[in-house]
Structure 1
Amino acid sequence: MNSTCLITGASSGIGRELALYYAAQGWTVYAVARSKDKLDELRRQQGAIHAVVLDLTDRDALRSCAERLHAEGVVLDLLLLNAGTCEYVDVNDLDLTAFDRTFAINFQAVVSSTKYFMPLLKASLAPKLAIVSSMAHFFPFTKSQAYGASKAATSYFADTLRLDLAGSGISVHLIEPGFVDTPLTQKNDFTMPFLLPVQEAAKRIYNGLQQGKTRLRFPLRLSFMLKLLSMLPYGLRNKVAQRMKQ
């Protein structure tokens, strides 16, 4: 029997590549995004992909979608919450709506999706809940107050979720990538060390989840570098962060 997954943020970037990769491996894929046109294009490339047009920040629509999938008898073996956004802010004129938008999709939508889609996992023999966060919260980066804080919240949510779901049969997996070449990162105007092609990122996520890894961080060189920086004495760490800002 084929395995089934639901992937959010599937219209572009990592989510789109994951949908294609899982479908190519024989999975039935429910691809979730707001753009019907982009989802239709995805379906034309892979017939095993089912388009689910949905705004994850609309909780009523999200609940209705989950109820409809349940009524259709959909059982998920993997729920992969990948949808995300990034907005940089100016500390001298903090855009509060940028914080609202960033947290709405990077954190609140993850919580809401967990609440409404997780019941679809319970009939699976080996259910997995995977949440995509970022390494951005490991170290303070300039103008990243909204993005980094939202990813810190997301990682904490995943770790505590794993704790409280222990014994339920649902395994929780946290994915914290570094820089991946996507339409989102292509907007950056700074050097992105160890930038990975999106196809490679999708492959690493697929293989890591198949191996049952509870935390995926890649590339390892960037992870190691940021870990070392985070271990510096607080005052020295701040000085390094200031130099990196320039």
Structure 2
Amino acid sequence: MAKTCLITGASSGMGKTTALHYAAKGWQVFAVARSADKLAELAASNSNVKPVSLDVTDSVALANWTAGLPAGQKFDAVILNAGTCEYVEATDLDLAAFERTFAVNVQGVVACTRYLLPLLNKGSHPTLAIVSSMSHFFPFTRAEAYGASKAAVAYFAESLRVDLADTDINVCLIEPGFIDTPLTRKNDFEMPFLMAPEDAAKRIFKGISDGKTRLRFPRRLSFVLKTLGLLPYNLRNKIASKMKQQ
């Protein structure tokens, strides 16, 4: 019997390529996103893809959808990938931007976990994968909303793993660097070690298959950011400020 996974944010970018990669491997994929049109195109490209038009920030809709699933529907992997990014100005913080960013990146992840965790196929070592970002490793300019949301969701995943340690559920924290997606194409700055979404999808599939609890890619960017994090606090801040001025 084919394994089943659910992927949020599956209509574009890394979510789309990951959904297609799983489908190509013979998995039945529940592809979740807001855009019904894009999901229909995705499903038309592979019969293993089941489109689910759903907004992860709508907890009532999430509850109703999960409640309406056929009896016995289980998932071997759930990948919470849906995310957004808005940059802000420190001297005039946009509260609405923070609300929108946290609604998707944090509350959406929490709500999906609330309603999908009971549907994991216990006994088969299922995986709940949560996508954060390397952005919270280092203080980047104008990233107060995005970086803080990714730090929050990373902590959520780590704490969740502790509380699920006595189950057979693997909590995998995924922390990618810059991936070439419609979201990152809006950036007006250089993105070092930019990775194709297809390569990211392959790493996610392999990492989850291998039972990894943490995935960071590309490794070169991870090494650079971790090294910067080891510097004395004041020196790290000076480097961050110089990056801002470039």
> The TM-score by the shorter chain falls in which range?
over 0.9
Supply the AA of the counterpart residue of 1:8: T
Q: If the length of structure 2 is used for normalisation, what is the TM-score?
A: 0.98
Q: Is the 8 A contact 1:135 1:178 kept in 2?
A: yes
**1:141 matched to 2:140:** yes
Q: If the length of structure 1 is used for normalisation, what is the TM-score?
A: 0.98
Query: Distance between the aligned counterparts of 1:170 and 1:55, measured in 2?
Result: 25
Q: How many equivalent pairs are there?
A: 245
Counterpart for residue 227 of structure 1: 226
Gaps of 5+ in 2: none
Counterpart for residue 113 of structure 2: 114
Counterpart for residue 7 of structure 1: 7
Counterpart for residue 153 of structure 1: 152
Query: Distance between the aligned counterparts of 2:18 and 2:232, measured in 1?
Result: 38
Supply the AA of the counterpart residue of 1:21: H
Counterpart for residue 17 of structure 1: 17
1:66 positional shift = 1.1
1:48 positional shift = 0.6
1:155 positional shift = 0.3
1:169 positional shift = 1.2
Q: Is the 8 A contact 1:99 1:146 kept in 2?
A: yes
Q: Is the 8 A contact 2:172 2:213 kept in 1?
A: yes
Counterpart for residue 29 of structure 1: 29
Q: Is the 8 A contact 1:77 1:124 kept in 2?
A: no
1:122 positional shift = 4.2
Q: Is the 8 A contact 1:30 1:52 kept in 2?
A: yes
Within a 5 Å distance, the mapping from 1:40-51 to structure 2 comes to: 40-51=40-51
Deviation string for 1:43-85 (max 9, x for gaps)? 000111111110111110001111112x343110001100000
Query: Distance between the aligned counterparts of 1:164 and 1:73, measured in 2?
Result: 25
Counterpart for residue 215 of structure 1: 214
Query: Distance between the aligned counterparts of 2:203 and 2:167, measured in 1?
Result: 26
1:123 positional shift = 4.0
1:212 positional shift = 1.0
1:211 positional shift = 1.0
Q: Is the 8 A contact 2:122 2:169 kept in 1?
A: no
Runs of 4+ in 1 over 3 A off after TM superposition: none
1:127 positional shift = 1.0
3-state SS, counterpart of residue 155 of structure 1: helix
3-state SS, counterpart of residue 180 of structure 1: coil
Supply the AA of the counterpart residue of 2:24: A
Query: Distance between the aligned counterparts of 1:19 and 1:220, measured in 2?
Result: 23
Counterpart for residue 174 of structure 2: 175
Q: Calculate the aligned-residue CA RMSD, in Å.
A: 0.8
Query: Distance between the aligned counterparts of 2:160 and 2:197, measured in 1?
Result: 27
Q: Is the 8 A contact 1:133 1:174 kept in 2?
A: yes
Q: Is the 8 A contact 1:76 1:124 kept in 2?
A: no
